[in-house]
Chains A and B, each alone.
Chain A
Amino acid sequence: MTTILGLYNYWIVIVLMMIGFYIIIAHGHLIKKIVGLNIFQTSVFIFYISVGKVEGASAPIWQEGIILYSNPLPHVLILTAIVVGIATTALGLALIIRIKEAYGSVDEHDIQAMDNQDMVNQDKEQQQC
């Protein structure tokens, strides 16, 4: 029982993570992949933060009379991590836009198919010359 009380929070986070992870792998739509990536990362952030939480403590901003603060370090790390996350997202989306322009689709399978087509075409050219 205590275990459950002690760890339920982590378990929730893990479930969230896995949802994100699942979306990344399972979905063919590129934007959805990025969304999944976001969820995945955000849940990791939550995990970090919850690690830093101290029962009954207050936000790590110094004030007279408060002695118990939550651990500021995870917050710092996650600030950095969030930035990294948005950076990745932006880049990913930019790529998606270009892919759409180049392939006319944003679906994994279509694109894969077209790639293989490209291969075939190349061989054709080769035979021609």
Chain B
Amino acid sequence: MLAHLPILQVIVPLMAAPACLILRKPKLVWLFTLLASSLAFIISILLLQQVMVADTISYELGGWSPPWGIEYRIDKLNAFIALIISGVSTVVLLAAQTSIEKEIPEDKQTLFYILYLLSLTGMLGIVTTGDAFNVFVFLEISSLSAYSLIALGKDRRALWASFQYLIMGTIGATFILIGIGLMYQMTGTLNMADLATRLPEVAETRTVTTAYVFFIVGVCLKLALFPLHFWLPNAYAYAPSIVTAFFAATSTKVAAYLLIRFTFSIFGISFSFTTLPMETLFLVLGLLGIFIASTVAIYQDNIKHVFAYSSVAQVGYMIVGFSLSTHAGLTAMLLHMFNHALMKGALFLALAAIIYRVGSTRIADFQGLGRQMPLTMAAVVVGGLSLIGVPLTVGFVSKWYLVVAAIEKGWWWVAGLVLLGSLLAVIYVWRIVETAYFKAPMAGRQPVKEAPMAFLVPVWLLVSANVYFGVDTRLSVEIATAAAKSLFGVAQ
């Protein structure tokens, strides 16, 4: 069975989804979903172990050899991303049942879990496949389920947010489709590895340039890279809190993965960064994203908005690392993708717990929570510190690598700006901490209890991961470095 792991990675959640429809009973469905997701998690771990020794695993679907058939191609990079996605999804699911019971009407809970599984499938599919068009198909699976999941939010604004996301997402997908089409037209193949070998021959043509631009723009829409980010905050803010926790930690990572994959291993670094001015473009956008998004985050009243905007800012950090187009820079980016998943997962899950108790997401309603929900708030504080980049948290590690990478490239000012940017995080995190710890609970609100175990366990799992990988970075750094190295191996 080990030989089939690559496909099982995707098939397990995919097949589980329709099966849920047969199970019907929400509680049962939840357990089943949890099972499927954790299976996917285990598979991804096994896969990662395999690729850390053997360089890449190729799996020919339908027994047709690429480029004629569809190929699944696992290397260090996508094994790493798959691990992040399936891991976060599993941890988040632990809390799902409790939170969903309260936020979604009984008759729709089963559907919720199906959609959740489907979006998981979509993301994993995008990451593991080695075929350009297959990416598009799974992209659509993940997006369609995402739209519906977001629309399940209680607030009516969820609907509008979801619709905006649908429009933006579909435009993005169509752009990607155009990009793929042009690539296909110039090379006659859809297989990524094959594309990588055949594109250089036609790299000079205007068509290929166009193809790249369209593909990248489409991806950046999904990535919510500033200034294409405006669909994200509302989508995160009004979705069911579990969904927010899941997406905030994973969805941007998937888009980032596509960016890396196509830029480095398909178009090749020389094309992307010497033929086209991607370097400066991404650098500028990234930095702008960091500063503007963080500044906006400071002025939000809805705490979900605060962290949503901070997500946009964090994407900025990733993109800065990307724009360095050096091994160090890429390592930093990958590390940050991993670390950011941990931070945001922890934070949004903690928020979910608070929403479960308090039923509101406005900072004003956090008054006095420091005493009423000590453990949850403590989690928020640690997550916040990690976001700021305080030593002994993962945030520090990624900052460290990013800044070192920038300095090594001789971009001192970038390094400075990156650090300055993290100061903005201090402000918006501390606003929350102060409200929670130094303000007495509002007269109107009756005191709330500490969140139930169903929340505390996963939240603290993630929080301790934040600290653990902030102290013992061997694992994450090793994988990230190896992945980055392999990419540059492909690129040259």
Residues on A lying within 8 angstroms of B by beta carbon are 21, 24, 30, 33, 37, 40-41, 44, 47-48, 51, 73-74, 77, 80-81, 84, 87-88, 91-92, 95-96, 98-99, 102-103, 111, 115, 118, 122-123, 126, 129
User: Contacts A47-B181, A129-B444 known; A118 to B157 CB distance under 8 Å?
Assistant: yes
User: Contacts A51-B185, A77-B133, A111-B160 known; A129 to B167 CB distance under 8 Å?
Assistant: no
Which chain B residues border A87 with CB–CB below 8 Å?
Answer: 140, 144
Could you tell me the distance between the alpha carbons of A95 and B442 in the complex, rounded to whole angstroms? 37
Residues on B lying within 8 angstroms of A by beta carbon are 133, 136-137, 140, 144, 147-148, 151, 155-157, 159-160, 162-163, 166-167, 170-171, 173-174, 177-178, 181, 184-185, 190, 301, 362, 364, 442-445
User: Contacts A84-B140, A99-B159, A115-B157 known; A44 to B177 CB distance under 8 Å?
Assistant: yes
Could you tell me the distance between the alpha carbons of A84 and B180 in the complex, rounded to whole angstroms? 16
Q: Is the CB of A95 within 8 A of B166?
A: yes
Could you tell me the distance between the alpha carbons of A31 and B110 in the complex, rounded to whole angstroms? 29
Pick from B170, B190, B445: contact of A37, CB below 8 A. B170
Q: Is the CB of A95 within 8 A of B159?
A: yes
User: Contacts A51-B185, A91-B144 known; A44 to B178 CB distance under 8 Å?
Assistant: yes
Which chain B residues border A84 with CB–CB below 8 Å?
Answer: 136-137, 140, 173
B140 CB to closest chain A CB (Å) equals 5
Pick from A47, A77, A129: contact of B443, CB below 8 A. A129
Could you tell me the distance between the alpha carbons of A75 and B462 in the complex, rounded to whole angstroms? 46
Q: Is the CB of B362 within 8 A of A33?
A: no
Could you tell me the distance between the alpha carbons of A115 and B161 in the complex, rounded to whole angstroms? 10
Q: Is the CB of B160 within 8 A of A115?
A: yes
B368 CB to closest chain A CB (Å) equals 13
Which chain B residues border A98 with CB–CB below 8 Å?
Answer: 151, 159
Which chain B residues border A126 with CB–CB below 8 Å?
Answer: 362, 364
Could you tell me the distance between the alpha carbons of A48 and B174 in the complex, rounded to whole angstroms? 12
Q: Is the CB of A88 within 8 A of B170?
A: yes
**Interchain Cβ contacts under 8 Å between A and B, 27 examples:** A21-B171, A41-B170, A44-B174, A44-B177, A44-B178, A44-B181, A51-B181, A51-B185, A77-B133, A80-B137, A81-B136, A88-B170, A91-B147, A91-B148, A92-B163, A92-B167, A95-B159, A99-B159, A99-B160, A102-B156, A115-B157, A115-B160, A118-B156, A123-B301, A126-B364, A129-B442, A129-B445
What's the A-B contact tally at a CB cutoff of 8 Å? 79
Majority SS at the chain A contact face? helix
Q: Is the CB of B185 within 8 A of A99?
A: no
Q: Is the CB of A95 within 8 A of B162?
A: yes
Could you tell me the distance between the alpha carbons of A96 and B174 in the complex, rounded to whole angstroms? 21
Pick from A48, A51, A103: contact of B156, CB below 8 A. A103
Which chain B residues border A123 with CB–CB below 8 Å?
Answer: 301
Which chain A residues border B444 with CB–CB below 8 Å?
Answer: 129
Q: Is the CB of B171 within 8 A of A99?
A: no
Could you tell me the distance between the alpha carbons of A21 and B167 in the complex, rounded to whole angstroms? 11
Could you tell me the distance between the alpha carbons of A77 and B301 in the complex, rounded to whole angstroms? 46
B440 CB to closest chain A CB (Å) equals 13
Which chain B residues border A91 with CB–CB below 8 Å?
Answer: 144, 147-148, 166
User: Contacts A80-B137, A84-B137, A111-B160 known; A95 to B170 CB distance under 8 Å?
Assistant: no
- The closest CB in chain B to the CB of A96 belongs to B163
Could you tell me the distance between the alpha carbons of A77 and B174 in the complex, rounded to whole angstroms? 13
User: Contacts A40-B174, A80-B137, A98-B151 known; A88 to B144 CB distance under 8 Å?
Assistant: yes
Pick from B136, B166, B362: contact of A88, CB below 8 A. B166
B210 CB to closest chain A CB (Å) equals 11
Q: Is the CB of A92 within 8 A of B178?
A: no
B144 CB to closest chain A CB (Å) equals 6
18 further interface pairs, Cβ-Cβ under 8 Å (given A48-B181, A80-B137, A115-B160): A37-B167, A37-B171, A41-B174, A41-B177, A44-B174, A51-B181, A74-B184, A95-B159, A98-B151, A99-B159, A99-B163, A115-B157, A118-B156, A122-B362, A126-B362, A129-B442, A129-B443, A129-B445
Which chain A residues border B166 with CB–CB below 8 Å?
Answer: 88, 91-92, 95
B109 CB to closest chain A CB (Å) equals 18
Q: Is the CB of B185 within 8 A of A24?
A: no
- The closest CB in chain A to the CB of B140 belongs to A84
Which chain A residues border B443 with CB–CB below 8 Å?
Answer: 129
Could you tell me the distance between the alpha carbons of A80 and B141 in the complex, rounded to whole angstroms? 12
- The closest CB in chain B to the CB of A77 belongs to B133
Could you tell me the distance between the alpha carbons of A88 and B162 in the complex, rounded to whole angstroms? 12
Which chain A residues border B177 with CB–CB below 8 Å?
Answer: 41, 44, 81
A25 CB to closest chain B CB (Å) equals 9
- The closest CB in chain B to the CB of A103 belongs to B156
Pick from B137, B147, B184: contact of A95, CB below 8 A. B147
Could you tell me the distance between the alpha carbons of A103 and B159 in the complex, rounded to whole angstroms? 10
Which chain A residues border B155 with CB–CB below 8 Å?
Answer: 118
Which chain B residues border A30 with CB–CB below 8 Å?
Answer: 163
Could you tell me the distance between the alpha carbons of A14 and B450 in the complex, rounded to whole angstroms? 58
